[in-house]
Chain A
Amino acid sequence: MMITKPKKADAANDDSILLKVRGLRIDGMSEEVWNPIVKGVDFDLKRGEILGLIGESGAGKSTIGLAAMGYARPGCRLSGGEILFDGIEMRTASEKQKRAMRGVRIAYVAQSAAASFNPAHRLIEQYQEAPVQHGVLSVEEAQSDAVDLFGRLQLPDADTIGFRYPHQVSGGQLQRAMTAMAMACKPDLIVFDEPTTALDVTTQIEVLAAIKDVVRQFNTAAIYITHDLAVVAQMADRIIVLRYGEVVEEADTRTMLSKPTEAYTKSLWAVRSLHKEEEPGEDTLLEIRNVDASYGGGVKVLHDVSIKVPTKRTVAVVGESGSGKSTTARVITGLLPPMTGEVLFKGEVLPPALKSRGKDDLRKLQMIYQMPDTAINPRQRVRDIIGRPVQFYLGLTGKKREERVRELLSMIDMEPDTFIDRYPGELSGGQKQRICIARALAAEPQLIICDEVTSALDQLVAEEVLRLLLRLQDEFNLSYLFITHDLATVKAIADEIVVMLQGSVVEQGMKTEMLTPPHHEYTDLLLSSVPEMDPDWLEDLLVKRAAAANAKARA
């Protein structure tokens, strides 16, 4: 069976319903009790249609997506309702029936391709596993199909890439290979579970375009799960907004974007409205001069990096993963002494290594991290988490220390009486990040390095955290070095922008200047790759890029 021809030639005209979900209820086990996670969800999916499921974390998106395959993660159970896939009840089907469907008629694309490919086998072995094991294709057929699909998904060296191991290809390529793997049996439905969340914006575009293209070619229906509205706007025909395991609103994509009716949906849409006017900096607080750095004396990861951070301003450092953003932060904090170059604070050279810096040098420079879960000790109460730097840097003890901790809690809008005795486990993600902010503030710093501080948070919570950071900047004359790959955040809060690529600074300047053309070629690529809420954005962009590439080729 060759795949150049879609399986069902007349499928494009077939409007029949493929998946019908009614009153779906899913329970999750926590503290030895079953609690409802999904509370009666209804939806239909037509053949060839792409349905977007969006919502914040904990809304039940992935759980519903997996339930469509009759699968519940360990600790979850499908407790009620109907999941009719082409007339087959998936909820009550036997394991054997479900196995026969999975991989063949319904396939899954996971969030992290790097974790979802088995490190021990070559890509092609994993690709051919489903079709060969289910007796759909022979090994030879599956392999020739794979080459064809890899080509359609624009993977480089389609003939040979399958013979590589997962760690030998990049994240974006792996994600496309996983989409190819899901397509292997030409399923009727693919569940995409945040397939581009772990990717850089520039890579995300390629993957989105490839997925959209291949799904259309084979008229495959899809459930596309994401928390990113702009992404779902590109991919879905219809969108369902979920919250707390219930459907908030359902509409076709254009209607949902232009005229959302529910307040919650509107609030999701409004998140991107945060905007701070830029102000030029006056005096320089921190300066990095001509820094080269490497890990263990090996390959250089920073090449001649120079950045200035003015007092009371926010400098955003943007770039893809591996561009040297976090390494720059490590050089500034002294965790990684540079090979050449220097770090100046208020015009004075800081000792390169952390251990040769004085307590006061340490105090002035604080950090907030991406994962509040791992950045705070789960065995300490809020009192001690914040109290420790208060005591260490300011020498306050006993009652004075307690007072200061309470003051800091009030500053981050957390009621001291309620929160001071809590453990991190008793806080939400956003609250934990606030605690991290308070801990940084406790040292009374002048510069805070924020390393992807909002990437692990939902959009609404992230916005609150950003507002808090802006307010604190105003109150305490703080400077921020804001490391992020999220350009929406940059647009919202930065004064200046530094663009990094492969360990070098490509371009830097004031925000508006940086965001208005003409850009450096790479800045342009980066900025134009940020998805917009316009459903036509992706296709327009691809057309534009193709035209530009043609023009360039001709010239």
Chain B
Amino acid sequence: MGKVLTLIVQRLGLGLITLIAVSLIIFLGVELLPGDIATEILGKDAQPATVEAFRKELGLDKPPVTRYIQWVGATLSGDFGNSFANGRPISDLIGFRLQNTLFLALMTAAISVPLSLIAGVLAALYRNSFYDRAINIFTLTSISFPEFFIAYILIIVFGQQLGWFPTLSNVSAEMPFSQKLYLCALPALTMTLAVFAHMMRMTRAAILNLLASPYIEMANLKGLERSRIVTKHALPNAWAPIANVVALNMAYLVVSVVVVEVVFVFPGLGQLMVDSVIVRDVPVVQACSMIFAATYILMNLTADIISIVTNPRLLHPR
């Protein structure tokens, strides 16, 4: 077990380094933009003295290194600072929206991960059958359309024609859980269609790839059922690639849902970030970027750790 722990600690360390690198890039990227929030808010004709005073108030007059350290320190303690645009604490702005985004992402994951894994295993099991072809065509079609297009189709079919689900997903904090689920049905379905194909096809490919192994031939020659061969012999060795693609898609669910959020008027983090970019509300953009980056890093770390702990050679050393 010692080796597994070392590997996991190493991965965590690497994740931390990546996070620091990302924070530097985010900070420097904003730093390199011409002008700053002071000139943006006060306009071109403002008195230099006023601009200077405003900068001082916002702390923009300090050297970049100091500001970076302050920013990181504050971020670590959960204090993202105040929005430049409206002066409210960023944690208030983000908190509710982050909850919403995570709620939607988790709901989508709860639908899409089991569904795509099962569909993928079945496709591998009944390779080249009608089911296999049908599911392949279906998933290919669904990822070939842009998400907003799928969203509108779902709105027309399930929202207007059938009237099963609401077309607006304007959730609020005090709503009961079931109400939230109901409101989020269509966006979750849209996103499920967006990530289903990757995960399902990867599961299928990872398993089919292993079906050429000598130990699969051996299992065949032991007279085992095909379903047992796929689930007992191929799947346990396919976790690493599957975990990777699932992790990437989970990160995608948190990070890249802005289009879906806009369509369904969903109060999520993506929309907040887009709004903040438009008004150059730098601290909010930085905070959102950090959250997104951390999500990606965390998801990839999880995938790495899953690959490590599902590898019998590492888990049971000689």
Q: Do A and B come from one complex?
A: yes
Query: Which of B163-171, B216-224, B265-273, B287-295 binds A?
Result: B216-224
Selected A-B contacts with CB under 8 Å, 11 pairs = A99-B223, A107-B222, A115-B215, A116-B218, A118-B215, A118-B219, A119-B215, A165-B312, A167-B312, A167-B318, A181-B222
Q: B225 at the A/B interface (Cβ < 8 Å)?
A: yes
A74-B212, A118-B236, A167-B313 known, 19 other contacts, Cβ within 8 Å:
A99-B224, A101-B223, A102-B220, A102-B223, A107-B222, A108-B221, A108-B222, A116-B215, A116-B217, A116-B218, A118-B218, A118-B233, A130-B222, A130-B224, A133-B224, A133-B225, A164-B316, A167-B312, A168-B318
A95 to B, closest residue via Cβ: B226
Residues of A within 8 A of B316 (CB): 164-165, 167-168
Decide: B224 and A120 in contact? CB cutoff 8 A: no
CB <8 Å contact, A120 and B221: no
Chain B CB within 8 A of A473 CB: no
- Within 8 Å by CB of A103, from B224, B236, B237, B313, lies B224
Q: Which residues of A contact B228 (CB under 8 A)?
A: 133
Q: How far is the CA of A166 from the CA of B224 in the complex (A)?
A: 20
Contact yes or no, A104 B312, CB < 8 A: no
Cβ of A110 and Cβ of B223 under 8 Å apart?
no
Please, how many residues of chain B have a CB less than 8 angstroms from a CB on the other chain? Answer: 22
The residue among A71, A108, A116 with the most chain B CB atoms within 10 A of its own CB is: A116
Contacts of A101 in B (CB 8 A): 223
Task: Write out the residue numbers on chain B whose beta carbons fall within 8 Å of the beta carbon of A116.
Answer: 214-215, 217-218
A544 on the B face (CB < 8 A): no
Q: How far is the CA of A112 from the CA of B213 in the complex (A)?
A: 11
A102 touches B214 (CB 8 A): no
- Residues of A at under 8 Å CB distance from B? 66, 69, 71, 73-74, 98-104, 107-108, 110, 112, 115-121, 129-130, 133-134, 164-165, 167-168, 181
Q: When chains A and B are docked, how far (Å) is the Cα of A515 from the Cα of B232?
A: 51
Contact pattern, B 281-318, Cβ under 8 Å of A = 1, otherwise 0: 00000000000000000000000000000001100101
Known interface pairs A99-B225, A167-B313, A167-B318; A110-B218 also in contact (CB < 8 Å): yes
B313 pairs with A102, CB closer than 8 A: no
B214 and A115 contact, CB distance less than 8 A: yes
Chain B residues near A74: list those with CB within 8 A. Answer: 212
A551–chain B nearest beta-carbon distance, Å: 35
Q: Which of B179-237 contact A (CB under 8 A)?
A: 212-215, 217-225, 228, 232-233, 236-237
Q: Kindly provide the distance from the CB of B177 to the nearest chain A CB, expressed in whole angstroms.
A: 38
Question: Residues of A contacting B215 with CB < 8 Å?
Answer: 115-119
**Does the CB pair A69–B221 fall under 8 Å?**
yes
The interface residues of chain B lying within 8 Å CB-to-CB of A98 are 223
Main secondary structure, interface of B, reads: helix
| Contact between A71 and B223, CB atoms less than 8 A apart | no
B312 and A71 form a contact (CB under 8 A): no
- In the complex, which of the residues A71, A104, A107 contacts B220, with contact meaning CB atoms closer than 8 Å? A71
Chain B residues, Cβ within 8 Å of A129: 219, 222, 224
**Residues of the A chain whose Cβ atoms lie less than 8 Å from the Cβ of B312:** 119-120, 165, 167
Chain A residues near B220: list those with CB within 8 A. Answer: 71, 102
- Quick check: B221 and A121 within 8 Å, CB to CB? no
Question: Would B223 and A104 count as touching, CB distance under 8 A?
Answer: yes
B46 to chain A: closest CB distance in Å?
A: 62
* Cβ distance A257 to chain B, nearest Cβ, rounded Å: 31
- 1/0 per position for B134-145, CB-CB distance to A under 8 A? 000000000000
Residue among B220, B221, B236 with the most chain A CB within 10 A?
Answer: B221
A117 to B316, CA, bound (A): 16
CB distance from A22 to the nearest CB of B (A): 23
How far in angstroms is the closest Cβ of chain B from A179?
A: 13
CB-CB under 8 A from B237, the residues of chain A are 118-120
Q: Which residues of chain A have C-beta atoms less than 8 A from B313's C-beta?
A: 119, 165, 167
Q: What's the Cα separation between A215 and B232 when bound, in Å?
A: 30
Distance (Å) between the CB of B129 and the closest chain A CB?
15
Q: Given A103-B222, A104-B223, A167-B312, are A112 and B214 neighbors across the interface (CB < 8 Å)?
A: yes
Instruction: Establish whether residues A100 and B214, one from each chain, have CB atoms under 8 Å apart when the complex forms.
Output: no
Report the minimum CB–CB distance from B126 to chain A (whole Å). 14
A165 contact set on B, CB distance < 8 A: 312-313, 316
Q: Which residue of A lies closest to B313 (CB)?
A: A167
| CB of B251, distance to nearest CB on chain A (Å) | 27
**Which residue of A is nearest B211, CB measured?**
A74
A103 — which chain B residues lie within 8 A by C-beta?
Answer: 221-224
Counting chain B CB atoms within 10 Å of each CB, which of A104, A118, A121 scores highest?
A118
Contacts of B213 in A (CB 8 A): 115
Name which of A107, A129, A164 has the most chain B CB atoms within 10 A of its CB. Answer: A129
- The chain A residue with its CB closest to the CB of B225 is A99
B233, closest chain A residue (CB)? A118
Instruction: Give 10 closest A-B pairs by Cβ, nearest first.
Output: A102-B223, A103-B222, A103-B223, A120-B236, A115-B214, A108-B221, A99-B223, A118-B215, A130-B222, A116-B218
* Nearest CB on B from A299, distance (A): 13
Minimum CB–CB distance for B161 against chain A, Å: 46
Q: Which residues of B contact A71 (CB under 8 A)?
A: 220-221
Shortest CB-to-CB span from A20 to chain B, Å, is 21
Specify the chain A residue showing the minimal Cβ separation from B216.
Answer: A118
A104 to B213, CA, bound (A): 22
Q: Which residue of A lies closest to B218 (CB)?
A: A116
**In the complex, A167 Cα to B313 Cα: how many Å?**
7
Alpha-carbon distance A99/B228, docked complex (angstroms): 12
Q: List A contacts of B318 (CB < 8 A).
A: 167-168
Bound complex: CA A108 to CA B222 (Å): 8
Instruction: Determine whether the beta carbon of A100 is less than 8 Å from that of B219.
Output: no
Cβ of B236 and Cβ of A110 under 8 Å apart? Answer: no
Closest to A117 in B: B215
Cross-interface CB contact of A107 among B214, B221, B233, cutoff 8 Å: B221
Closest-CB distance, B207 to chain A (whole angstroms): 13
